[in-house]
């Protein structure tokens, strides 16, 4: 049986058969010598169906991209967290990045936005992810971006002062890093106000310190908190205090174990308990 392959034909669904007439044979033979010796037997070729196909009972999730499935849920987590903290929900973006992280940007005259890396979405549970979103909302509610810009301008200006300008700038930088670390602790508290469970926030910090999706079910929050207590004991001696101070002085974020200790202690404080008593239940949460 002879066969034919024509560039003008395409295959979209199950092939259908076409039997050529003598007229069709003459037409094809005029363009291709291989058809000139063809006899009067059928030639089977594959062609496109004449009309479009229809999908019955098609659901949007049948073809939705995985990231598109996550974004509505992440946005809802952001809206709930913003409602709890009494702040306007910013725009939310997900960025493809293998390093688990989230950050907030506020540009003058524009609506602020939060960026979450895809690796963080994969690493955390939904409650933990909402705690991260609440942490970023804490930066917005406390206007940390405004103060950070002011501090950077002040530090850069100090370097231009003749004589002691370099020393002054160094001292300002140390104070700036100290404030940045304190700001992170403040936002961890915002995360706890939304999560309302210290173990959720501590679990986030533990995973950021060294967790991965394949080991997430083996991590122990209580053991992580014990590490924080051990760190405090080691830092109680003069040498330990010096080493700890040198280690943390140029960090913009406190060590995760220290942040875990701080949030664990604050969760048992009268200040946190009083805030919970002042809270009003909302239907959306």
Label residue 30 by pLDDT band (50, 70, 90).
Answer: low
Decide the pairing of beta strands 113-117 and 91-95. Answer: parallel
Q: What is the pLDDT of residue 189?
A: 97
pLDDT greater than 90 at residue 282: no
Contact call for residues 138 and 115 (beta carbons, < 8 A) = no
pLDDT in tens, 116-155: 999 999 999 999 999 999 999 999 999 887 776 666 566 5
271 flagged as catalytic: no
Label residue 260 by pLDDT band (50, 70, 90).
Answer: very high
Q: How far apart are CA 234 and CA 241, in angstroms?
A: 8
Q: What is the pLDDT of residue 250?
A: 63
Q: What is the pLDDT of residue 254?
A: 83
Q: Per residue, what are the HEC states of 14-64?
A: CCECCCCCHHHHHHHHHHCHHHCCCCCCCCCCCECCCCCCCCCCCCHHHCC
Contact call for residues 176 and 140 (beta carbons, < 8 A) = no
pLDDT greater than 70 at residue 57: yes
Maximal C-alpha separation, the chain: 103
pLDDT greater than 60 at residue 78: yes
Dihedral sign, CA of 179, 180, 181, 182?
positive
Contact call for residues 104 and 116 (beta carbons, < 8 A) = no
pLDDT greater than 80 at residue 27: no
Q: What is the pLDDT of residue 67?
A: 58
Burial of 167 (0-12, 13-18, 19+ CB in 10 A): exposed
Helix, strand, or coil (residue 225): helix
Q: How far apart are CA 14 and CA 76, in angstroms?
A: 43
pTM to 2 decimal places: 0.67
pLDDT greater than 50 at residue 272: yes
Q: What is the pLDDT of residue 218?
A: 78
Label residue 267 by pLDDT band (50, 70, 90).
Answer: very high
What is the arrangement of strands in the sheet containing 113-117, beginning at the earlier edge strand?
91-95, 113-117, 102-105
Per the residue annotation, which of 83, 136, 173, 271 is the catalytic one? Answer: 136
> Worst-scoring range by mean pLDDT, 213-217, 241-245, 280-284?
241-245
Label residue 109 by pLDDT band (50, 70, 90).
Answer: confident
For helices 256-267 and 221-234, the axis angle rounded to 10 degrees is 100
């Amino acid at each position: 049986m002879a066969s034919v392959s024509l560039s003008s034909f395409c295959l979209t669904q199950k092939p259908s058969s076409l039997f050529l007439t003598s007229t069709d044979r003459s037409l094809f033979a005029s363009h291709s010598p291989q058809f000139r010796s063809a006899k009067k037997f059928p030639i089977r070729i594959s062609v496109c169906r004449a009309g479009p196909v229809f999908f019955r009972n098609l659901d949007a999730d049948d073809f939705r991209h995985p990231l598109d499935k996550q974004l509505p849920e992440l946005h809802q987590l952001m809206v709930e967290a913003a409602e709890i903290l009494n702040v306007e929900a910013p725009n939310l973006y997900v960025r493809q990045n293998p390093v688990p992280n989230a950050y907030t940007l506020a540009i003058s005259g524009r609506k602020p936005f939060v960026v979450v890396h895809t690796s963080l979405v994969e690493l955390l549970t939904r409650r933990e992810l909402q705690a991260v979103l609440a942490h970023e909302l804490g930066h917005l509610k406390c206007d940390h971006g405004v103060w950070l810009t002011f501090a950077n301008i002040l530090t850069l200006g100090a370097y231009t002062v003749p004589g002691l300008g370099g020393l002054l700038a160094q001292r300002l930088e140390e104070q700036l890093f100290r404030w940045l670390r304190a700001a992170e602790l403040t936002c961890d508290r915002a995360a706890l106000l939304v999560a309302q469970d210290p173990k959720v926030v501590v679990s986030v910090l533990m995973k950021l310190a060294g967790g991965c999706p394949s080991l997430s079910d083996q991590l122990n929050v209580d053991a992580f908190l014990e590490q924080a207590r051990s760190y405090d004991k080691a830092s109680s001696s003069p040498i330990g205090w010096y080493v700890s101070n040198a280690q943390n002085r140029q960090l913009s974020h406190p060590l995760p174990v220290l942040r875990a200790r701080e949030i664990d202690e604050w969760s048992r404080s009268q200040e946190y308990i009083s805030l919970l008593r002042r809270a009003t239940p909302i239907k959306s949460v």
